[in-house]
Structures are given as C-alpha cells and as structure tokens.
Amino acid sequence: DSGVTQTPKHLITATGQRVTLRCSPRSGDLSVYWYQQSLDQGLQFLIQYYNGEERAKGNILERFSAQQFPDLHSELNLSSLELGDSALYFCASRGGTEPNYGYTFGSGTRLTVV
Amino acid sequence: EDQVTQSPEALRLQEGESSSLNCSYTVSGLRGLFWYRQDPGKGPEFLFTLYSAGEEKEKERLKATLTKKESFLHITAPKPEDSATYLCAVQFPSGNTPLVFGKGTRLSVIA
C-alpha cells in the first residue's frame, strides 16, 4: 500500500456520461497530480493541485476538471465521455517541493467507456 | 517531439542475462531524473532519483547512472520477478513543471 488511495478501482460507463474519480494523498502531502495512461501515449500529465490551489495544467481537455478540497483529497471530473477517454487514471502525491521528493502513485482507476 | 525517450520499447532476457535500459532527454539541464517500476494494472513504484551527471544509485540488482543527456538502468543477473515496465521521468528546470515521463521499457525475464 503506497498510502495514496484511489476510488473506484474500475469504472465502466457509456459515452456521453459523467464520472468522478477520487484520490486521497499520503498523510501530510500537499501536492496532488493527476495523470492519464493509455497504451500508446504513456503517462500524460493532466493537472496539479497544491494545498487546494491549481498549480500546473497539462493537456487536460475542457471536458475534464478537478479540484482539491480542504482535507486535501482531490476529485477528477470527466464529462461528455468519449470512447477515447478509456484509460488508466493515476493520482500521485508529493510531500516536499524539491526534486528528491519523488511522486507516490496510487493504484489507479481503470475507466472503460462503452 | 518527445522530451523523454526510452529504449528499447521491449526487452526479453534470460534469467541471469544482464542488460541496460536507456532514457534520454532533450532539454539542457534538469532538476532531477526519476526511475519507476510499474507492474501490470498497478501504479508506478518509485525506484531512484538522480540529480547530476556522474551520480549513481543502486538497489538490489538495479543500478541507475546519469550523464548530461541520458540515464541508464543497469540490471545485473535479472530474475523473473524483475519483469515489469520501467519508466523514466524528468523534472525540467523551468518553473513548477511536473514530471515528464517516457513511454517505458517493457522487460520480460524468462526462467
């Protein structure tokens, strides 16, 4: 157990629907990162939050949004889902800001859009 | 253009057959280079961080090295349990940039 908790582990939904993925970071970690992993693209950065504030944005689609709550858990909202959104979605947390603090990843949410 | 490139994409080794994985990056300078191991259907697991050219880190059968433009992950006398995808990630120097990952090397070690 890495200490980063993601729910649900699996999600199957239809095109056009909306889903919410949840992430609880390691205790004390202020930064949360969301990544998407598909077979051909590898891990793609979506968005980062630090202590409730958005800090960095990757190639996140406008249909996707996220937030980090006062208790530091984060949610990634995916709407108007398309078949191409099927992927593994990972959340990672980080304790410090210096490079030696590697990210700790959760076990991911596998999203299947049918 | 990919900023972080890993090679080979896949590698099949016999148990005990040592080899190296490569990670190259295009930007000048970096704040850190990270190696992760990922098992199928699981999240990446942190292995090493390297900061400067010439630095080396070891853990069991794995040894990571760093030059100015690339890093190597050397696997000595691998065992079947070393089979996994190995990911390289780079923290670039400018601003608050997140880790940029390569696509990984899928390693299979055959008994």
Q: Is A99 within 8 Å of chain B by CB?
A: yes
Return the percentage of chain B with pLDDT > 90, whole number.
77
pLDDT in tens, A1-55: 889 999 999 999 999 999 999 999 999 899 999 999 997 778 999 999 999 999 9
Residue B37 has pLDDT above 90, yes or no: yes
Q: Is B78 within 8 Å of chain A by CB?
A: no
* Token code pair at residue B9: 């994409």
> Can you give the pLDDT at residue A99?
55
Cβ separation A42–B104 shorter than 8 A: yes
CB A43 within 8 A of CB A37: yes
pLDDT in tens, B57-87: 999 999 999 998 899 999 999 999 999 999 9
Residue A100 has pLDDT above 90, yes or no: no
Which of the four pLDDT bands, split at 50, 70 and 90, describes residue A96? low
> Can you give the pLDDT at residue A74?
98
Q: Which residues between 54 and 93 in chain A have a beta carbon less than 8 angstroms from any beta carbon of chain B?
A: 55-56, 58, 88, 90, 92
> Can you give the pLDDT at residue A101?
67
CB A71 within 8 A of CB A56: no
Q: Which residues between 1 and 30 in chain B have a beta carbon less than 8 angstroms from any beta carbon of chain A?
A: none
* Mean local confidence (pLDDT), B32-54: 93
d(CA A91, CA B104): 18
Residue B1 has pLDDT above 60, yes or no: no
Chain centroid to Cα B78, Å, comes to 15
Q: Which residues of A touch B42 (CB under 8 A)?
A: 107-108
Which residues have C-beta within 8 Å of that of residue A87, sequence separation ≥ 6? A36, A37, A38, A111
d(CA A11, CA A112): 6
Q: Which residues of A touch B45 (CB under 8 A)?
A: 2, 105
Q: Nearest C-alpha of chain A: how many angstroms from B31?
A: 6
